[in-house]
Chain A
Amino acid sequence: MMKKKLKKILVTGGLGFIGSNLVDSLVEHGHKVVVVDRNKPSVFKLLNPKAKHYQMDFGSPEIKKILQKEKPEVIFHMAAQISVPKSVADPVGDAENNIIKSLGLLEVARKNGVKRFVFASSGGAIYGDYPSFPTPELRSVKPLSPYGIGKQTFEYYLFQATQEHGFSTMILRMANVYGPRQGLKGNSGVVGVFCEKIVLDEPLEIFNQGKETRDFLFVGDAVAAFHKAIDSSEQGFVNISSGREINIKKLFTTLAKISGKKVDFKLSPPRSKGEILRSVLDNRLAKKKLNWQPKTSLEDGLKKTYAWFEKNKLELSKKNR
């Protein structure tokens, strides 16, 4: 087996859902990890003890000093405003965080010795209702939400930095990532919401009769893609997805079965205008460029996810009180 080079990696949003799973895995593989996250470590113990945590916003001017001190070779930029409805209500706030601050980080990284910048983008939100399924890596589309626009915009800046300055960048357009630790701050994807409600025996609501489809990718598979992106010399974007299209009703019945509970639910009309009806991403390019493929079946992924929510039932029940 080829020995992997160990690197120093800075992860923004390293206390978040995907970020914390990523940090654990990086540490496990022997990389040195610096986390920049404005949050304090919570009761869910998401901060890996071997990672160094700077509790600050990645958009703070202090970030320059941290880069000069820590000298990371790679940045994984995970921190973001992640709520689509919030972006619709406050597009300026979303753009300030996801575009302006990200662009500031990119500039500082480029000028302070960072060798590679990997960005967690969003396939579903960027492609919107683009009428081709599974959706391939489209260069430029018209996303339906300000959140999707913001993600695509930062992609443009990454491309520009690569073309203009030769800065090495990679964009992972993620499908709907789910797994342990999802949605602890309230703005969660549907798997997190369902797991929490089922575990706490609360009634749940299925919007648009459960007809909407999504491409659910287990967080462990998503994390593996970031590993592949470290040493790859590829530039540009790839979809990171399961390539499977599942409707919400099916997701619900699978989860309900795993829980072994009789779940109280109601079917509701669509949540809002601009909600994406179908989403499934073609992942063949990721195989070609990164030698990455998803490995976890939906059933296995949901079991692991549900088990985590079950284990943290007590903390979850206190969270909102």
Chain B
Amino acid sequence: MKNKYTKILVTGGAGFIGSHVVDLLIKRGYKVVVVDSMKKKKGWLNAKVRYYRTDINDPGLAAIFKKEKPDAVFHLAAHIEDRVSVREPVMNAKENILGSLRVFEACRNFKVKKIVFASSGIVYGEQKKFPLNEKVTPWPLTPYAISKLVGEHYLNFYSKIIGVPGVALRLANVYGPRQDSRGDSGVVAIFSEKMFKKQAVAVNNDGKTTRDYVYVGDVARAFLLALESKYEGEVNISTGREISTLEIFKTLKTLTKSDCKLIFNPKHQDRIKRVCLNPRLASKTIGWKPKISTSAGFKATVAWFKSRV
């Protein structure tokens, strides 16, 4: 199949999810430009991209668009630490809300033909009926979640009023190789690393909190499918399967053959007890379904963390 778009600019293209997206773009023959500040990490930059070490809030962003003239933009750069956002909402809003707006404005001014935005299932907040579909009214509980939902609203404005078609991918809990194990999310990464380092693992409360875990390779495919589709709007990228933290612990323990101890942390309550996102709309609109089974995904992730220890 011939690609409709030639050159893709990826913000956050050196990060965990972004780098997988970039690798897949390169493999499929796209030209790729990466804009990433690489603030905290060395990143996972594909050697075949043109790379700009720039923050999306820097005034230099427009010049990059002007020079590169990308056909489409994947916007993944963000401040992603949910708990930090509660302490520092203004910082988070500047990075994520103003940052996204600056990216979208550059798309408007330099005639970008498509935007795919990395949103998050976190926008739904605390809900009662599962699995959640896209018609459920979002109710974000943290500044980070607010910033993602607001990014979607602005994208909708650019799509409907300005005429730059946009798709927002509401990603479930993404896991896989290269995930940062230092953050406060990313339980698969954190557990895997601790098990190989023979450290004890802690779970919040009773470990029965559930999330919908989706493999990063599947997520990367979703970006490319969203790009080439005609759909505009929000869509869940998920498996539709709930897995408890305890289950993850057990599965990873078996895979790593570790005798790692589990500590319960009754003081740490998870505000959102259950997450499960219905992936049906993605199948209908952009032709995406998760392909990697949980066991295959976990195996691949564990193998990668093992190679890094």
Contact = CB atoms under 8 A, between A and B. Distances in A.
A139 B160 contact: no
B139 A139 contact: yes
Interface stretch (B8-16, B151-159, B205-213, B254-262): B151-159
Interface stretch (A33-41, A92-100, A194-202): A92-100
B1 interface: no
A210 interface: no
A140 to B, nearest CB: 5
A147 B14 CA distance: 33
Nearest to B108: A91
Interface stretch (B95-103, B110-118, B181-189, B290-298): B95-103
Contacts of B156: 142
Interface of B is mostly: helix
Contacts of B137: 138-140
A103 B102 contact: no
A164 B90 contact: no
A273 B161 contact: yes
Contacts of A96: 98
Nearest to A138: B137
Nearest to B158: A91
B89 interface: yes
B161 A88 contact: yes
Given A145-B157, A157-B146, A100 B141 contact: no
B25 interface: no
B140 A156 contact: yes
Interface string A245-286: 000000000000000000000000000011000000000000
Given A99-B93, A153-B97, A91 B154 contact: yes
A164 B97 contact: no
B139 A140 contact: yes
A91 B143 contact: no
Contacts of A140: 137-139, 149
A160 interface: yes
A144 B160 contact: yes
Contacts of B138: 140
Contacts of A153: 97, 146, 150, 153
B53 interface: no
Contacts of A163: 141
Interface residues of A, number: 28
Contacts of B146: 153, 156-157, 160
Interface residues of B, number: 27
A142 B1 CA distance: 35
Given A95-B98, A100-B98, A143 B153 contact: yes
A152 interface: yes
A273 B102 CA distance: 22
Contacts of A88: 161
B251 to A, nearest CB: 33
A157 to B, nearest CB: 6
Contact of A144 (B90, B98, B149, B161): B161
Interface centre among B89, B98, B138, B139 (most CB of A within 10 A): B89
A104 interface: yes
A99 B161 contact: no
A146 B156 CA distance: 10
A107 B89 contact: yes
A103 B89 contact: yes
A103 B141 CA distance: 15
B197 interface: no
B98 A160 contact: no
Given A140-B149, A153-B146, A157-B146, A95 B90 contact: no
11 contacts: A100-B93, A103-B89, A107-B90, A143-B153, A146-B157, A149-B150, A153-B146, A157-B93, A157-B146, A163-B141, A274-B157
> Nearest 6 pairs between A and B by C-beta?
A274-B161, A156-B146, A149-B153, A153-B150, A142-B156, A92-B101
Interface of B: 86, 89-90, 93-94, 97-98, 101-102, 104-105, 137-143, 146, 149-150, 153-154, 156-157, 160-161
Given A156-B140, A160-B140, 10 more contacts: A88-B161, A91-B101, A91-B104, A95-B98, A103-B89, A144-B157, A146-B154, A149-B153, A160-B143, A274-B157
